[in-house]
Structure 1
């Protein structure tokens, strides 16, 4: 079980109960999701996947403010994207020992890396990552396949899990959690340095909290 910066025994007593726990139920699993802090490109709206940008000073400040919200909460597993903007956010929040998971990287935008949606729409009217291909990048199915592996890992581990990642990929992760196509992630706006929680309502996977 992970606490703020320390690895302790997995079977230790929890300091706080899971939201919506039913004793003995396999649906106790929760997935807590944090999008990384602000970067220069997230501020300007440039698509950022493989480009490994640092956090801005403002991004560091706001990401650090998330730490008190997780104080005293234990996690059975903590994962992070390998990109420095996600790993630094994990450190600022208190989870420097988060395990790197390559499946949490951002959607690969291919030729659209580093450019904005208005710029793309000059060439491809009405383009969105949810509805159109990204030449040289990932397809929606490829994104779904790797995020399904994250969902499977979390549900296999059980308990309360925490991940640090990226805007489009985490929106797609939420869609896959509730058993919807990746394209349904378009409905889940997600700002930088925000906390969301995925879980269950009885046997149904649901969004318990979003973009908070």
Structure 2
């Protein structure tokens, strides 16, 4: 069984390098292009089931790729960034470099935000739930943080060891036996029609 994770297309806030969290911004023209470009690859993968985050940028991506009727699950939302929601990444790095690095490392939580460990627990349990909920490959249309958590929670890969998750690209996990003790294998990461980005805001 495969777990196929698709990050939503680039948003207007992504272009401004603003942290989105549970807030929302519509797809940019490039984001719409990214979503359209991944459609042939999704068709070739032919997932049996689809689920999405309930946030607008993901639902917009789902509609473009042909899964407007897929169920949504609020538990698949991006990390809640609390008072940092809407702030620009470059401003945070300039004004609070130590806190920003600590946040990226999972050891600091902005006021009103979600702790990294809680985020990991939320996402891994939710993805596992959907894998158990049916048979066949599962496509989850989600956020960059969700992909990073899947790599960490299922494989032990820390975010610092991964390139940023490019909008409109795929990560694929191969679960030989979702109920077994063996961890999945990472079949693909940043797979898509757009080259991996090196500096992308969440």
- TM-score (structure 1 length as normaliser): 0.77
Mark the structure with the bigger radius of gyration: 1
Does residue 117 (structure 1) correspond to residue 89 (structure 2)? The answer is yes
Partner residue, 1:31:
3
Maintained 8 Å contact 1:38/1:192: yes
Does residue 47 (structure 1) correspond to residue 24 (structure 2)? The answer is no
| Counterparts in 2 of 1:39 and 1:110: CA distance versus 1, 3 Å | same
Deviation track 1:26-48 (CA, whole Å, cap 9, x = no partner) reads xxx21001000111111221101
Distance in 2 separating the partners of 1:103 and 1:185: 20
Distance in 1 separating the partners of 2:131 and 2:64: 26
Query: 2:184 aligns to what SS in structure 1?
Result: strand
- TM-score (structure 2 length as normaliser): 0.81
Q: Runs of 5+ in structure 1 lacking a partner? A: 1-28
Mapping of 1:10-29 within 5 angstroms? 29=1
Runs of 4+ in 1 over 3 A off after TM superposition: 200-204
Deviation at 1:109, TM superposition (A): 0.7
Partner residue, 1:186:
160
Distance in 2 separating the partners of 1:54 and 1:95: 17
Maintained 8 Å contact 1:30/1:160: yes
- The root-mean-square deviation of aligned C-alpha atoms, in Å, is 2.0
| Counterparts in 2 of 1:158 and 1:130: CA distance versus 1, 3 Å | farther
Q: Runs of 5+ in structure 2 lacking a partner? A: 192-202
Partner residue, 1:138:
114
Query: 1:197 aligns to what SS in structure 2?
Result: strand
Distance in 2 separating the partners of 1:206 and 1:151: 15
